[in-house]
Chains A and B, each alone.
Chain A
Amino acid sequence: GIQVEQSPPDLILQEGANSTLRCNFSDSVNNLQWFHQNPWGQLINLFYIPSGTKQNGRLSATTVATERYSLLYISSSQTTDSGVYFCAVERGLYNFNKFYFGSGTKLNVKP
């Protein structure tokens, strides 16, 4: 299957700081989503971004499909941003409907 690597695995920030999370994938994809898993386990959709750039408040994401990576930017971080951020990709054509998850980036924002 497709390999999805996320970096860094752990990140500690002071409240108000900015950060960039990276997701590399090993093959072409037709779908890429970023999720935030809160401390209670709930996975929240952040972005559907197979290519291009999107912004939603303090968060933005960019996917460069031709170079097989995606970046998630968090600006002016808040303690509520803490949790694990996952990148998930869906492969095109014959493996449609199968999402592959990265190992996640665990973010801890300190007050």
Chain B
Amino acid sequence: GAVVSQHPSRVICKSGTSVKIECRSLDFQATTMFWYRQFPKQSLMLMATSNEGSKATYEQGVEKDKFLINHASLTLSTLTVTSAHPEDSSFYICSARPTGNWENTIYFGEGSWLTVV
């Protein structure tokens, strides 16, 4: 099956620093990738849709200057949390849709736990 790899799985950073999370589709190409944020015991909240070669589309209320998304290739999207603060601590998870997938299924990475201290 389709595999999406996310790295790092866990990261601790100091307040004010930036953290980059990578999302890679390992065995397929993905024109579109999605970034979600999940708070404890809550559902997934879509942050942005990342399209290869173009600017990401952010959901209402998500600061695009704080959560920088780059989708430079068909297999890699990155989320950079800039000037991180403790309230940015969360579980971030990406998903990818295989290009040309007739079923339009999406596959998720393992997620990244971010702790800002």
Contacts and interface: CB of A to CB of B under 8 A. Distances in A.
Contacts of A88: 44, 106
B44 A45 contact: no
B111 A48 contact: no
A31 B93 contact: no
B93 A43 contact: yes
Contacts of B104: 30-31, 48, 90
B53 to A, nearest CB: 15
B32 A45 contact: no
B91 interface: yes
Given A41-B91, A86-B44, A99 B111 contact: no
Contacts of B1: 45
B111 A41 contact: yes
A103 B38 CA distance: 11
Interface in A67-98: 86, 88, 90, 97-98
A101 interface: yes
A23 B111 CA distance: 24
Contact of B43 (A42, A86, A90): A86
- In this complex, the interface size class of chain B, counting residues with CB under 8 Å from chain A, is 20 to 34
B42 interface: yes
B87 interface: no
B105 A45 contact: yes
Nearest to B105: A48
B108 A104 contact: no
B111 A42 contact: yes
A98 B46 contact: yes
Nearest to B1: A45
A40 B93 CA distance: 12
A33 interface: yes
A90 B46 CA distance: 12
Contact of A43 (B49, B103, B108): B108
B105 A33 contact: yes
Interface of A: 30-31, 33, 35, 40-45, 48, 86, 88, 90, 97-104, 106
5 contacts: A30-B104, A33-B105, A40-B110, A43-B111, A103-B43
